[in-house]
Chains A and B, each alone.
Chain A
């Protein structure tokens, strides 16, 4: 009776069993969302930020390093503080802070660590070590602060800050996450990828309360962080700081290059800022203040500022004119027929023209270069002549990037045919009489101090340069891009440099440079420049190298609104050169005079004095 019912019952069991197996097949094999959900549940990805590379000067002195700071964390469930007074005494916090922070940590999570105290210094960290046994549930995590040894190099170094939302979107390799720190300008930006190192990743298992339970898959997926590479710069920190001290109360730049290597010895941008204040919580306040400052302290002037080169450009004209065959050491011009002004003196040859910085001389010389002693349509001849001229001048680095290893290098402007066609809206709508200002470095031509220092190096080398660079070695191997080892020829034969260098020697000895710009025991050769601008008084410019034979330093100094080139720029350059070559300065009176010299009222008037007052109280 009813024995067949067993089979019916078992059929029912079997159907249910199959239904379960089917559903399980779907859950476990077909649908992989659960697997991902499980990983999200139980695996916590921890990013480990490596130490950023340090930056050294040419003698191995530290310029930028990382200061370890210690953040104190607490786990409320484990934290037992028997004696609150003792605790507050050890960590130097108020009772209110203790109560408030503890409560906030508890409200966040009883089992996950909460930040209790931020940025304890190494000394503070050491002093509380002994007491830590009394405070279970509290522990330290190491963090790092970018610390800048010297304020003088801030602009070239750049700074490190949280990545901006736009940069986050624009990044190429998806490396950065929100809140990551990234080099913003200068070296920090240019060498970002080598400085930052390789981020580490740890996969930790966590339970449902978020408490860590060891490495996932025994740590086989973990990647250890790799510290960033150190940078060995060519900066001479002593010279850098000295040049910076000379640029106090001034706006402008000092760039010094070792001509034989293209290594930048010093690069001062004035006014500067305190990079150490651009870290952490101060960032937004201080950044605002700097960004609004009319003197633009955030601008790294040497590679990025725009100036007319003024008379220093006459050196290029003298070289290019000779190479093109239009002038020679014996070429003599008088003031007659030139629309440019000059001082009272008679007709001069090329050497003399450089000594006294004769405007009409270079007007005539440039006219000759443009018109090529031929006749015909002046418009057409202007175009042909200018292009030939501009192609040669471009070799000196004008109107293009030199490739310095700093962010934000500007091209500057070297006016050529296309440029004037655009300005005058059409071909053959301009001729020499429209463009002659550039013969003496005024008008449309725009350069940066770095280019002018490089020009001094080119002349010192008699016709070649190595692209200027700040970093001479990266990482343990101290390797460097071959680009910064390869000389670039400018296309002017070495013999044409003699007369120019003679003229520069005369300019320093008994030409446009005054007594403050002369170094008694060093043969420095140079050229002054006076750059017209809209801000007010002319900018004072001086480029030079020394010693004349076997030059060790080429320098360009720009002092904004300081007037004639011999007045401020030449003495400052001479002091830096003297300091570099002798490691000391004998002309103390000149040094004191120019350290205290203040050219700011010429352009910034009242605002500046107020600002300075703030600056001085900060120091």
Chain B
């Protein structure tokens, strides 16, 4: 039995099927987004390969090469070299401010000839690998503070470096590792606090402080009334509850201060646009407004492939990259986007299912890292096109146009598939 047959036999073809389907659909959408009814380009026309659709074909072709590379590398390489890969990317992240070029306002790209590469896209993979390797040690217990601290360090170093190169969106992706950590034993309090914090932040922006106070007092009252065993009706409990309310209120009041003093102008505006949809529809709110118009005009059945007017005629900025979901929404309607969302959730479910089959904790943790990253992109990207999330430069995995993002997601996914294909060879430790 040759090595390649061995891989073929074990490769999870359902996941590969999802991948191929998403890439294909994504390309059709990019084609539609750049398609001009006046001058349709044919494949034989060299100018076609200057358009996003043509270039994406090249990116897809090179991705196949990357897949082959990933699949022929020994599966033990990824665990053994995780630290070196991680350190190498940290070096690139440090080097990019000095050697990189600026694209769309973020100084985070390396240029090789006509190709541009964004190291931040690959830092996610490296971080996932190192986290998985670290968690592979059976002694690591995420409910203990010393281990939590080290894990936080692994995540925060690349994150801060990426924030430094003005790519806040990419940096926020690292927050998705909380899913990996939660699966690997991080106490539930952390994600609960995390979600609670986001909820508090959003509600502080949307409603007046006294409303939050009222809700908190009501919640505390209900707690005392219905859970007397836990509360024990003891004066100290009331003191603790009051303290918690006071603390939460202080945080809620801090939100305004943070928004006004910590965030940069453009970030502040993105949040304003989010909480007030009618804000400056021709200026700062233009992208969201146009995106909603494009999606909303699709109706139930959509306008048909190549039939969209909004995305095709450039009303939505960045429509083939970060805003590619608009094209789906406009041309394929509610049916199309609903199916797409369900398919994506199915894809995530398949990956989690595979991850849980792993015998090695390394492979499982990496799998959940992958799931977290994909979900975070899904959440933010679709959320921003329909006005539920602030605008961030975050692509839709496999759908959005872009070499760096396609390559990095391909590598991220196929490392996991490679590991999965060897799951019987790996010993659980």
Interface residues, chain A, with chain B CB atoms under 8 Å away: 1-3, 5-6, 9-10, 13-14, 16-17, 19-21, 23-25, 27-29, 31, 33-35, 37-39, 41-43, 205-209, 213-214, 216
Contacts and interface: CB of A to CB of B under 8 A. Distances in A.
B338 A21 contact: yes
A13 B348 contact: yes
Contact of A43 (B36, B309, B375): B309
Contacts of A16: 375, 379
Given A6-B183, A28-B299, A37-B293, A20 B341 contact: yes
Given A24-B295, A38-B293, A38-B297, A6 B338 contact: no
Given A9-B179, A9-B183, A20-B382, A28 B296 contact: yes
B313 A28 contact: no
B383 interface: yes
5 contacts: A9-B179, A27-B295, A28-B334, A31-B296, A213-B313
A277 B347 CA distance: 76
A19 B378 CA distance: 13
A37 B38 contact: no
A615 to B, nearest CB: 55
A27 B388 CA distance: 12
A6 B358 CA distance: 14
B315 interface: yes
Contacts of B383: 20
Contacts of B337: 21, 24, 28
Given A31-B296, A207-B315, 9 more contacts: A2-B185, A10-B352, A24-B341, A34-B292, A38-B294, A41-B293, A41-B309, A213-B37, A213-B312
Contact of B341 (A21, A29, A207): A21
Nearest to B195: A12
Q: Which of B184, B310, B387 has the most C-beta atoms of chain A within 10 angstroms of its own C-beta?
A: B310
B84 interface: no
A17 B342 contact: yes
Given A28-B298, A29-B334, A34-B292, A207 B179 contact: no
Contact of B345 (A14, A209, A214): A14
Contact of A2 (B184, B309, B312): B184
B310 A42 contact: yes
Q: Which of B184, B334, B371, B387 has the most C-beta atoms of chain A within 10 angstroms of its own C-beta?
A: B334
A256 B295 CA distance: 70
Nearest to B379: A16
Nearest to B296: A34
Contact of A213 (B38, B334, B386, B387): B38
A10 B348 contact: yes
Mostly, the B contact residues are helix
A1 B183 CA distance: 9
B374 to A, nearest CB: 10
Contact of A42 (B309, B333, B349, B387): B309
B184 A209 contact: no
A44 B262 CA distance: 44
A89 B338 CA distance: 63
Given A10-B348, A208-B315, A35 B296 contact: yes
B313 A34 contact: no
A3 B295 contact: no
A27 to B, nearest CB: 4
B280 interface: no
A21 B383 CA distance: 11
Contacts of A6: 183, 352, 356
B297 A35 contact: yes
B375 A41 contact: no
B21 interface: no
Contacts of A38: 293-294, 296-297, 309-310, 330
B276 interface: no
Interface in B320-365: 329-330, 333-334, 337-338, 341-342, 344-345, 348-349, 352, 356
B300 A28 contact: yes
Contacts of B352: 6, 9-10
B240 to A, nearest CB: 27
A9 B377 CA distance: 16
A27 B345 CA distance: 21
Nearest to A25: B334
Contacts of B338: 21, 24
Nearest to A216: B309
A38 B298 CA distance: 9
B314 interface: yes
Contacts of A27: 292, 295-296, 329, 386
Nearest to B344: A17
A16 B374 CA distance: 13
B382 to A, nearest CB: 6
Interface string B276-305: 000000000000001011111111100000
B182 interface: yes
A91 to B, nearest CB: 29
Interface string B24-37: 00000000000011
A214 B296 CA distance: 23
Contacts of A25: 334
A28 to B, nearest CB: 4
Contact of B309 (A19, A23, A205): A205
A16 B349 CA distance: 14
B112 to A, nearest CB: 32
Contacts of A213: 36-38, 312-313
Per CB-CB distance, the 10 closest pairs between chain A and chain B, nearest first, are A34-B296, A38-B297, A207-B313, A42-B309, A28-B334, A27-B296, A208-B314, A37-B293, A35-B297, A208-B315
A41 B348 contact: no
A499 B341 CA distance: 101
B356 A24 contact: no
A42 B313 contact: yes
A23 B292 CA distance: 11
Nearest to A214: B37
Q: Which of A3, A9, A31, A38 has the most C-beta atoms of chain B within 10 angstroms of its own C-beta?
A: A38
Contacts of B375: 13, 16
A3 B352 CA distance: 10
Contact of A33 (B179, B296, B300, B333): B296
Nearest to A27: B296
Nearest to A36: B297
Nearest to B182: A5
Contact of A28 (B184, B309, B329, B382): B329
Contacts of B371: 9
B386 A24 contact: yes
Contacts of B379: 16
Contact of B299 (A17, A29, A42, A205): A29
Contacts of A24: 295, 329, 334, 337-338, 341, 386
A344 B382 CA distance: 108
Q: Which of A1, A9, A216 has the most C-beta atoms of chain B within 10 angstroms of its own C-beta?
A: A9
Contacts of A23: 386-388
A24 B386 CA distance: 7
A208 B348 contact: no
Contact of B386 (A5, A20, A208, A214): A20
A33 B383 CA distance: 20
B345 A17 contact: yes
Contacts of B329: 24, 27-28
Interface string B87-130: 00000000000000000000000000000000000000000000
A9 B386 contact: no
A16 B337 CA distance: 14
Nearest to B180: A9
Contacts of B333: 28
Contacts of A41: 290, 293, 309-310, 313, 315
A13 B345 contact: yes
A205 B300 CA distance: 22
A209 B183 contact: no
Given A13-B348, A17-B345, A28 B295 contact: yes
A423 B383 CA distance: 82
